[in-house]
């Protein structure tokens, strides 16, 4: 039996992935900033633990409480929709602390044990927007693209040590709190130069027609790379993510 630790399990992709792996007989460590035992089924194979990926002491405690794990899924993140010119720099620092440095800190924390055992899988959930430029999410995109970049190098560094590294790139999903969590940080609606673009972009985000990514798409992608040693470094999750990846490959 294998054990997986997933960050950001209070809702969305992380919550669905925790349920997905539980249903398939894995031991699951589901982490959240504020643990909520009501969102997951009761199971003796489940640990729900508090974790703030921006705090080293929180990371050390969760790994001590979890015990040895076989797979790490870095999913915790938040969004920041705003024109680059108007983004509050303190909010940008918080964004990178969570999305980029938090992911890096988790990777660094598990790698010593993975290297010692000569086994382990690291799965970083980023975004398909890293392969396609869109307005308003430049800083969010940058925080996730940084994870893509260091993951590519990391995969080369640890391959001979028996450790695998993968990227799961979801598309646009109506099943996450991305919009709700991100909108308080939105700037520019009162700016006559940016307001029309912001309104158009928000309308596209709210539009649920056309191909979308569902939480199960992401869980299936995570499941694939957790179990398939031949899986590629990057896995798009969701039909829109697949289309964007194909477009990016055509442009390359």
Active site residues per annotation: 140, 144
Phi and psi at 104, nearest 5°, equal -60, -40
Evaluate the CA torsion angle 88, 89, 91, 95 in order and state its sign: positive
Which H/E stretch holds residue 73? strand 71-74
- 219: alpha, beta or left, given left = phi > 0 and alpha = psi -120 to 50? alpha
Phi and psi at 240, nearest 5°, equal -70, -35
**CA geometry: angle 74, 76, 79, nearest 5 deg:** 130
102: number of Cβ within 10 Å? 24
Nearest to 137 by CA among 52, 192, 197: 197
């Amino acid at each position: 039996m294998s054990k997986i630790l997933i960050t950001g399990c209070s809702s969305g992709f992380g919550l669905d992935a925790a349920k997905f792996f539980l249903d398939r007989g894995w031991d699951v460590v589901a982490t959240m900033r504020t643990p909520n035992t009501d969102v997951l089924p009761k199971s003796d194979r489940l640990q729900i633990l508090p974790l703030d990926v921006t705090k080293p002491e929180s990371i050390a405690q969760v790994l001590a409480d979890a015990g040895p794990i076989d797979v790490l899924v870095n999913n915790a993140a938040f969004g920041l929709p705003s024109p680059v010119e108007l983004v509050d720099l303190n909010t940008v620092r918080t964004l990178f602390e969570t999305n980029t440095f938090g992911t890096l800190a988790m990777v660094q924390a598990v790698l010593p044990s993975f290297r010692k055992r000569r086994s382990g899988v690291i799965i970083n959930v980023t975004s398909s927007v890293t392969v396609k430029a869109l307005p308003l999410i430049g800083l969010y995109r940058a925080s996730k693209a940084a994870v893509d970049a260091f993951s590519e190098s990391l995969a080369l560094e640890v391959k001979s040590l028996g450790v695998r590294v993968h990227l799961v790139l979801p598309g646009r999903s109506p099943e996450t709190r991305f919009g709700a969590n991100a909108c308080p940080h939105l700037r520019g609606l009162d700016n006559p130069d940016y307001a029309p673009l912001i309104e158009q972009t928000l309308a596209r985000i709210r539009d649920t027609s056309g191909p979308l990514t569902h939480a199960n798409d992401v869980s299936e992608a995570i499941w694939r790379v957790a179990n398939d040693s031949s899986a590629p470094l990057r896995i798009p999750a969701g039909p829109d993510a697949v289309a964007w990846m194909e477009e990016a490959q055509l442009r390359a």
